[in-house]
Structure 1
Amino acid sequence: MSLTLPPKVTDRAFARLAEINEASGEAKALRVAVAGGGCSGFQYEIKLDDPAADDLVLEGWGQKVLVDTVSLPFLANATIDFSEELIGARFVIDNPNATSSCGCGTSFSI
């Protein structure tokens, strides 16, 4: 039986969120959610948002990352990171629960 842990957020992801908020002059949280759809059955939704009452709030660098209670089981033990590559810079999810994913990295199946 594996231990189910909430997702982790890397320092790189918190630092990028801090840069975004500083540039915009706002103090928004980063919401990471899982929704049905995408080419593999589920897809990640990543957006700036305000906390809701039942969100799991992960804090670091003075920033907040939010996960709603419905998405939490799909993101157990996952890592939320920020990646800068030739194809672009984006927040990425390393999800050990996903059995397959699509090339774009935003869709997965369990």
Structure 2
Amino acid sequence: MSVETFNPQLDSVFVTDAAAAHFRRELAKNADAKAVRLSVKQSGCTGWMYVVDLVPEGKVEDLRITLGDGAELLVDPAALPVVSGTEIDYVTEGVNRQLKFNNPRVKDYCGCGESFSVAS
């Protein structure tokens, strides 16, 4: 018999203030969107790719993370084995601004940076 435990450091996704502000700005630009939804899909040569969508509503089973000012991040529960423990940040690198996923489960990235694999 085994007992599964909930570890709040690994069983959630964390959003920095910069990323939350970015998500709120993007939601404000899109009247049809009420939330940001994070999922993953199989892609590239390494395995997984993050998918971030603006959505009108989430699914009942989604993990819901409040970002403030009415904004919400929804996480697809099927993605949790891949994204749990991830910190989402919004960074400026040179003249580029982008979301950065700091995922402690990643063990390898593909050469082009499109996909990643996780430790099991």
Normalising by structure 1, we get a TM-score of 0.84
Q: Which amino acid aligns with 1:21?
A: L
Deviation at 1:47, TM superposition (A): 1.4
Deviation at 1:88, TM superposition (A): 2.4
Q: 1:51 to 1:5 in 2, by over 3 A?
A: same
Q: Which has the larger radius of gyration?
A: 2
Q: Which residue, out of 92, 105, 117, partners 1:97?
A: 105
Normalising by structure 2, we get a TM-score of 0.78
User: Hey, what's the Cα distance between the residues in 1 that align with 2:114 and 2:37?
Assistant: 14
Look up the SS of the partner of 2:106 in the other structure. Answer: coil
Deviation at 1:13, TM superposition (A): 0.8
User: Hey, what's the Cα distance between the residues in 1 that align with 2:46 and 2:95?
Assistant: 21
Look up the SS of the partner of 2:66 in the other structure. Answer: strand
- Give the count of matched residue pairs: 108
**In the alignment, which residue of structure 1 is the partner of 2:42?**
36
**In the alignment, which residue of structure 2 is the partner of 1:55?**
62
**Identity within the alignment, %:** 31
* CA deviations over 1:75-97 (Å, ceiling 9, x no partner): 11110111222362222211110
User: Hey, what's the Cα distance between the residues in 2 that align with 1:102 and 1:46?
Assistant: 19
Q: Which amino acid aligns with 2:18?
A: R
* CA deviations over 1:55-101 (Å, ceiling 9, x no partner): 00111222111111100121111101112223622222111101011
**Further displaced range: 25-34 or 50-59:** 25-34
Tell me how large the CA RMSD over aligned residues is.
Answer: 1.9
* CA deviations over 1:10-49 (Å, ceiling 9, x no partner): 1111111111222334543111111112231111111111
Q: Contact 1:40 / 1:102 at 8 angstroms: preserved in 2?
A: yes
User: Hey, what's the Cα distance between the residues in 2 that align with 1:106 and 1:46?
Assistant: 14
* Runs of at least 5 residues in structure 1 that lack an aligned partner in the other structure: none
Q: Is 1:9 equivalent to 2:4 in the alignment?
A: no
